Amino acid sequence: MLTRLAALCGAFLLSMYFRSYFGVVGPALANDLSLSPQEFGWLASAFFASFSILQIPCGLAFDRWGVRWPMVTMMSAGAAGSALVAVSSNFWTAILGQVLIGIGCAPIFMGVLYYLGKAHSAETAARLAAIVSAVGSAGALVSALPLSSFTDSFGWRSACWLAGAAMLGGATSIALTMESLPSDKPAPKGRTGISAFLPLLYLMPICFTLSLGGTFRNAWATPYVTAMFAKGSDIGVVLTIVSIVGVATSFILPALLVRVRASAIVVVTFALGCFCAMTLAAFPDLSMILVCVGLSILYAMGNVHPLVMTEAQTLIPEHTRGIALGALNSLVFLGVSAASSVFGQIAGLSLAPGTTYRIIFVATAAALATAVLVYVVFRDRRDASPHESAEESQAIADMD
């Protein structure tokens, strides 16, 4: 049991590392390959695009074969992708490597939840998932100051080689320790087809913008800070602070849930994120302290991801749960990919740096405000609906 948990923790740590490593490696890579801002944006988004597209296929694969071999196969592809980035000499080679890394990380988060949910009771699975999430979140710390220091000393290509080797080691540990646990239950009768997904529509804007703040930690913090505060700014320290806040809030969340409704936490988190984005839009170059606070809160927004997914699970039949969660999860990472690409297009307009990042932060605030407005309005309507089943009502109450 402990070896399996360790393997899952290691795999999730690698996934968290690769989600944010481009914030350090990307600018150095772009400089060496002479990439334009648009190409940098596309390169940053390639990982999240392939990651998001594969969420539903991953869910289907888990239902048929379990988590073991789909994870091993795809993580091995991710290792190859990191090696390809390490040897890249042009934009197209680098973007193919990023796509492969996205493929490698795509099954990990879903695999952790799927495996623990099938192997243990709901209470045990939730506790173990929290352990994996907390330990794995250290990957974001590794990809901050330690990665920045390593890159300064040995170069970004060496960092990619080392990360690829670690990913291959993670795939090997999954192969040696995990059980497959494929689905062995026939699909029960109930809602099927499109009707099974209708209750989830109000969650889609929230999912699409859930990790929008992470776009800055994962790629755009370095260009932003260097443009506003000169190239001598210690971006490694900024990214480390942002990552520490993200990890710390992930440990605070379980205790907070004892006293506060999950839906209230989601709303307050998005409201804080919107406020931070508007503040940075108004004062993009005021101080490094403001930058650290604003980017930290925007990044920490991603910690409510499990709360949103838990709410989703109460609204859908069990036999469609895997594919539904895969669809919602794909929106999360598709949102990151789309945001990074849009930010690249804005940066490519050749405006003054202050104007560029004002527009980027205003766009971020508008997206977050729209998502939380839809969530509040339509969740309240759903809660007030007389047609809601008793089972769904009890499940929501239990979750909150």
pTM to 2 decimal places: 0.71
pLDDT(318) > 70? no
Reported confidence tier of residue 86, pLDDT bands at 50, 70, 90: very high
Helices then strands, counting H and E runs in the chain, come out as 20, 0
List, in order of start, the domains of the chain with CATH numbers: 1-181 (1.20.1250.20), 191-400 (1.20.1250.20)
Q: What is the pLDDT of residue 80?
A: 97
CA distances from 182 to 222, 366, 396 (A): 43, 42, 28
Q: What is the pLDDT of residue 360?
A: 92
| Per-residue pLDDT reduced to its tens digit, 277-309 | 999 999 988 888 898 999 999 988 988 887 787
Reported confidence tier of residue 394, pLDDT bands at 50, 70, 90: very low
| Per-residue pLDDT reduced to its tens digit, 32-71 | 999 988 888 899 888 888 888 898 888 888 877 888 999 9
Which amino acid would we find at residue 276? Answer: C
Better-scored residue on pLDDT, 348 or 105: 105
Residue 313: strand, helix, or coil: helix
| Per-residue pLDDT reduced to its tens digit, 161-199 | 999 999 999 999 999 998 765 444 444 444 555 666 677
- pLDDT, average across residues 321-326: 74
Cα 29 to chain centroid, rounded: 22
| Per-residue pLDDT reduced to its tens digit, 123-145 | 566 667 767 877 887 787 888 78
Q: What is the pLDDT of residue 384?
A: 56
